Structure 1
Amino acid sequence: MDLHRVDLNLLVAFDMLMTERSVTRAAQRLSVGQSAMSSTLNRLRKLFDDPLLIREGRGLVATPLAESLAISVGELLTGIDSVLSQRDRFDASSAERTFSIIANDYLTMTFLQPLIARLSTDAPGIRLRIFPTGDDFAEQLRGHRADLLVIPQEAFEDHAEFHFRVLFRDRYVVAVDEDHPEVGDQISLEQFGSLPYLATSSGHRRSLAEMQLDFLGVPRRTEITAGFGLAPFLLRGTRLITLVHERLALRIGEAAGIRLLEPPIRRLQPITEIMAWTSRTDQDPGHRWLRDQLLDLADQQHPLQGRRE
């Protein structure tokens, strides 16, 4: 038998006929006319070269072949239904999947690390590939070379072209060596502009902090420029000051030997971290699960009002 020439809907009709043992009731259950169901029964008889159902009194009686086929056809339809419903199910505890995420070191350390710890026990078959945020992050996402991008909204001008959700906001604080000889519990704007300054960068670009300071016209005596994830560790034993994300500073402050101070710049704005993805993964249950995990972590760590897609 050439399977390509078989209408699998016939098996659905066969299963219903065997269940109801009535053309009329089978037609009603499948929402078709009685004549259409009679025609389908004739096609089934031709397909299997067997009467299948024989009238006996007021009812229909299955032939031995029909009885032998009933269990196999039922199991086959159950299997097909299972395959077709896979898109609506995702069991993280037993799934074997790999997800790729673009995120910088700061986000990986302060935000994604708890997810990594959770996966090891709750979803051991889930693997993450985390890539650094290069200058081509938008093209990486657009070209489906990454599943998810976690990035400051302010650094992603084209974020509205994608699906996105706000995760959390993080403000800037001033970081100095814990034994800084000239800075006490507060730092003045004059000190901020006169003390040696450690500027931060993101890849080959200035960091959002430096862009804001330039926009606000805040003078700095820049002596060193380094990646913003490394900057806090360069302050120990120096007179340097820098701006750092508060979440990162609180996470590594003791190890870096730094103190945190309120910035003397009133109009300094926090950053808004978002996750962005493409339509290709929007409806996939596994990807929805991953995004829900990140939203759950964000809510636990830093609840926000008005998250939007």
Structure 2
Amino acid sequence: MDLRRVDLNLLVAFDMLMTERSVTRAAQRLSIGQSAMSSTLGRLRKLFGDPIMTRDGRTLVATPLAESLAEPVRELLTDIENVLALRHEFDPATAEHTFSIIANDYLTMTFLQPLIARLSIEAPGIRLRIYPTGDDFADQLRRHRVDLLLMPQEAFEEHTEFHHRTLFHDRFVVAVDKDHPEVGDEITLEQFTSLPYLAASSGHLRSLSEMQLDFLGVPRNTEITAGFGMAPFLLRGTRLITLVHERLARSIRAAAEIRLLEPPIPRLQPITEIMAWTNRTDAVPGHRWFRQTLIDLADEYNDTPAR
């Protein structure tokens, strides 16, 4: 095939169709009309001599040929993007760019908030889109719908499929109301297993603290389940206890009116927060700068213990 007669933009459209599996969403991502996207699909069908997408009820299903082409086309586009990006310097002081991140409330409040404050001064043209952690977080990154994924390594079994870097570690502490009537400066294992317990969750996902307690066989008198970002604020005026990330707990303990105690569970392990990204952005100067900014921030974070 003579490449001079091929519109290589069709490969961009093909990649977006395979990512979104929807003509409408692909058109939105490419900032074109739906009719134009439908016309582009027709051109792709002619180019490859294949339907590419077929309708099954209300959904579009990729053909076997399209599935076999998806990864090679993505790698080709990544190589082209990287070649073009390497020709341009990135100046954060003047750059205009939006980075998309998946991160939970804990990371947003304790780690990304200082980043936001720093960017407003050092890189005012840099914008962030922070999305909550859903059940499909790995697929969101794999399909390039976000640039970075920040989350505990222990909850991300597929992290080895991506580029990744450790940011920092954090541990769990017990939180109680500051005037808890039954808990003093320490909490015993008997109290931990018998007092009303507030179980933390992350959306539809169980928290690492709850999974660890189950693994260690530690019983709880669970009365309430809530998101771990709001859990500490629900303890006020109650006999409830909960496990919470230490850095989050220490940053909000005055506002939440809570006390923090050592867990009476010696084998409770800390968490390892990592960031993960794909090959598509690995060598792009702007993305490299952004990741290094997060690494530098994590180094400062590690130099300032939560205690």
- Return the TM-score normalized by structure 1: 0.70
C-alpha deviation, 1:89, in angstroms: 1.8
Q: How far is 1:87 from its partner?
A: 3.5
Kindly provide the amino acid, as one letter, of the partner of residue 117 in structure 2. A
Q: Which residue of 1 aligns with 2:131?
A: 131
Distance 1:168 1:87 in 2: 33
1:281 aligns with 2:294: no
Task: State the Cα deviation string for residues 156-207 of structure 1 (Å, max 9, x = none).
Answer: 0000000000000000000000000000000000000010000111111211
Residue in 2 that maps onto 1:228: 228
SS in 2 for 1:302: helix
Residues 195 and 221 of structure 2 are in contact (CA less than 8 Å); yes or no, is this contact kept in structure 1? yes
Looking at structure 2, the residues matched to 211 and 195 of structure 1 have their Cα atoms a distance apart, in angstroms, of 19
Measured in 1, the distance between the counterparts of 2:238 and 2:85 equals 61
**Aligned-pair Cα RMSD in Å:** 1.6
The CA deviation string for residues 195-220 of structure 1, in whole angstroms up to 9 with x for no partner, is 00001111112111000000000011
Q: Where does residue 245 of structure 1 map in the other structure? A: 245
- Between the aligned partners of 1:85 and 1:184, the Cα distance in structure 2 is 58
Name the counterpart of 1:217: 217
Evaluate the alpha carbon distance shift between residue 299 and residue 192 of structure 1 in structure 2; reply closer, same or farther with a 3 A threshold: same
> Structure 2: where are the runs of 5+ without partners?
5-82
Does 2:153 align with 1:160? no
Runs of 4+ more than 2 Å apart: 83-88
Tell me by how many angstroms 1:303 deviates.
4.4
Q: Does 1:112 align with 2:112?
A: yes
With over 3 angstroms needed to count, the CA separation of the structure-2 counterparts of 1:85 and 1:269, relative to structure 1, is: closer
| Alignment length (residue pairs) | 223
- What is residue 290 of structure 1 aligned with on the other side? 290
Residue 128 of structure 1 aligns with an amino acid whose one-letter code is L
Q: Which amino acid aligns with 2:215?
A: F
Q: Secondary structure at the match of 1:260?
A: strand
Tell me how far apart the structure 1 counterparts of residues 235 and 118 of structure 2 sit (CA, whole Å): 33
| Pairwise CA distance, 1:301 | 1.1
Structure 1 residue 85: Cα displacement:
7.8
Distance 1:198 1:189, change over 3 A: same
The answer on 1:262 being equivalent to 2:262 is yes
Q: Deviations over 1:78-100 (max 9, x none)?
A: xxxxx978545210000011100
**TM-score after normalising by structure 2:** 0.71
Q: Which range moved further: 203-212 or 236-245?
A: 203-212
Q: How far apart, CA to CA, are the structure 2 residues paired with 1:274 and 1:150?
A: 6
- Letter of the structure 1 residue corresponding to residue 106 of structure 2: Y
Q: Identity of counterpart residues, as a percentage? A: 78
Determine helix, strand or coil for the equivalent of 1:92.
coil
Going from structure 1 to structure 2, the CA distance change for 1:289 and 1:85 (only over 3 Å counts) comes to closer
SS class of match (1:159) = helix
Gap change, CA 1:231 and 1:85, over 3 Å in 2: closer
Would the aligned equivalents of 1:106 and 1:229 in 2 still touch at CA under 8 Å?
yes
